[in-house]
Structures are given as structure tokens and as C-alpha cells.
Structure 1
């Protein structure tokens, strides 16, 4: 299973409330969900939300803490990972973000804040290959994505699978990481297909 805790953008554009709640647990289908600590799987994920959703989350429960324009949720997702919400001024406009931070790392929240600002102030709109794959995973309905498990013909523990459809309407599963550039383009919305490639930070 991918256990990378690098800070990463997992959805392009501003998510609505339905999409926000779906992305709070993007890995719910992972095998043996309740048998292991998945902190490294979630820590570092972030995406943009609207002001309305930011304020809605602030009002659900008393925050664990409030620091300036940031607040953390009292309920932890897994281990020491919880939701942190940011209101950040970027290019003169206040924008809102959700990120999963591992609070056992005292620097994780500030690192997340700086990473979001750095990513969103790039002068040219572009996406890395990893960002394209993460967007596909985030935007795909649960029925068409999943994880390799013991029932797969070639068991690859914890690897993510995506359903591809042919022109004739047949379908097949393929590892998300193995999608070709053409397959990635076919799974992205039109407005994202032709964005230039960005170098990974």
C-alpha cells in the first residue's frame, strides 16, 4: 500500500460539499481497513473548498484548536491525523482549504500551509502526473475504483485500481499508477486534459 506522507494536492478546482465529504475518506475501500494505522496514507493530502463549506465545518464541533486563520477538527481520522482547515490569502484573494495533518509532528501544519501557498501561487496553471492521477482517484465513484486484494488474479497488496471502458463498452481494471498518458487524458474533465505538465516539487 502506498504509505507516502508527502504533502500532495488530491483534487483540482474547488470541491462542493458532496465532493468534500467523499474526499474526507478517499481510501475507505482499502483492504483490512480497521486492522492497521493508516496515518501515512492520509497525512499530507489537501484540496480546496468553498468558504461555505469551511464555515460549515467550523460550526459542526468546537475545534481542537484555532490558530489565526487555521483550525483543527477535534475528531481524529486515524492515529494522530486530523482535518485542518485553512483560510489563506493568495494573490490578494482569501481561499479555503482542507488538509490532513499528523499532529504528532509539530511542524506538519505549518509545512502544509506553506506547501498550499507555494502550489497555488505558481504563475502557470499546470499539473504533475501525480496530481492528475490523484484527481482521477478523487473524482471517480467508488463503484469504479478500488484496491487490489487477495481476490485479484495478480495480488498486489494495497495498489489502487481504476475501471477503464473501451469504445465498445467493455470494461477492465488497471492499476492507477500504470495508466498511460492517453488513458489519463480520457479520465480527466475536458478543462484539465490539456494543461501543461508541471515538474514535481
Structure 2
């Protein structure tokens, strides 16, 4: 399986509640789910949410900790990976974000915060090629995306796939 390890924006725009919950586990269809340490799939993923979703998450689960503009959930996704929610002031506007941070690395939440602020200070239309691919993956309905399985050549197994229909 191809693993990710860098900090990366996975969705463009502000995710509503339905989208937020889809993005929480966008790797649900991965092969051998829960059989491997999938921490690298999630660690470093982040996206923007609305204030209502930020406040909702603070209300439904007790935070593991709260530090200024961020709080972490006590429910771990895998290993030491958990959700961290941010309230950040960027270019004079208050905005809200969700990220998966590896709490085994003590500076992970701070590095994530700094990366989000840096990335969101770019011009609005600027997207890297990798960010476009992440957005396409995140925005594609679960029924049309998945992972290459046994029917694929061995070098492609575990890679992400998207089903595309064509005429003819």
C-alpha cells in the first residue's frame, strides 16, 4: 500500500458536517483495514471546516487536551494518531480546521498549525498537483473510489483507484 507521510491539504473549500465525517475516514475501503499500522495514511491530513462543525466536535467528545487555539480528541484513530481541531486567524479572518496529528511526536500539532497557516496564506487559486489529486480523491463518492486489489498487477495493489465511466 502506498503510504503518505507529509502534511497535506486533502479537501478544498469548507467541509460541511456530512463532508467532514466522510473525510474523517476517507481510507475506509483500504485493503486489510485494521491489520496494519495505517498511521502514515492519516497523519498529516487536514481540511477546513465551519465553526459549527468545530464547536460540534468539541461538544460531543471530551478533549484530550486544549491549548490556546487547538484541542485534541481523546479518541485515537490508529496508534498515536488523533484529531486536532484548530481555530486560526489567517489574513484577518477566523477560520477552523481539522487535522490528524501523531501525538507520539510532541511538536506535531504545532507543526501542523504552522503548515496550515503557511498554506492558507497562499493566493486562493494556487493548488499543487498533489493537492488537486487529494481533492479529487476526497470529493469522489465512496462507491466510485477504492484501492487496487488482487485483480491488479502486483506493483499497483494498494494504490488508490477512481472508477471513470466513458462512452462506448
Q: What is the count of residue pairs matched by the alignment? A: 167
For structure 2, list consecutive stretches of 5 or more residues without a partner in the other structure.
none
Distance, in Å, in 2 between the alignment partners of 1:56 and 1:34 is 27
What does residue 4 of structure 2 align with? Answer: 4
Deviation at 1:58, TM superposition (A): 0.2
- Aligned to 1:64, the other structure's residue is in SS state strand
CA distance in structure 1 between the partners assigned to 2:18 and 2:29 by the alignment: 18
Indicate the RMSD between aligned Cα atoms, in angstroms: 1.0
Aligned ranges for residues 14-29 of structure 1 at < 5 Å?
A: 14-29=14-29
Residues 149-188 of structure 1: pairs in structure 2 closer than 5 A: 149-150=149-150, 152-155=151-154, 156-166=156-166, 168=167
- TM-score norm. by structure 2 comes to 0.96
Q: Runs in 1 of length 4+ with deviation above 4 angstroms?
A: none
- Normalised to the residue count of structure 1, the TM-score between the two structures is 0.81
Deviation of the 1:123 alpha carbon: 3.3
Deviation at 1:122?
1.1
- Structure 1 residues 65-107: Cα deviation after superposition (integer angstroms, max 9, x where no partner): 0000100001000000000000000011100000000000011
1:165 aligns to what SS in structure 2?
A: coil
Task: Find the aligned partners of 1:126 and 1:120 in 2 and give their Cα distance.
Answer: 10
Q: What whole-Å deviation, never above 9, does each CA across 1:31-54 have from its counterpart, x for those lacking one?
A: 000211100110000000000000
- Displacement after TM superposition at 1:124 (Å): 5.1
Is 1:78 paired with 2:78?
yes
> Which residue does the alignment assign to 1:187?
none
Match of 1:37 in 2: 37
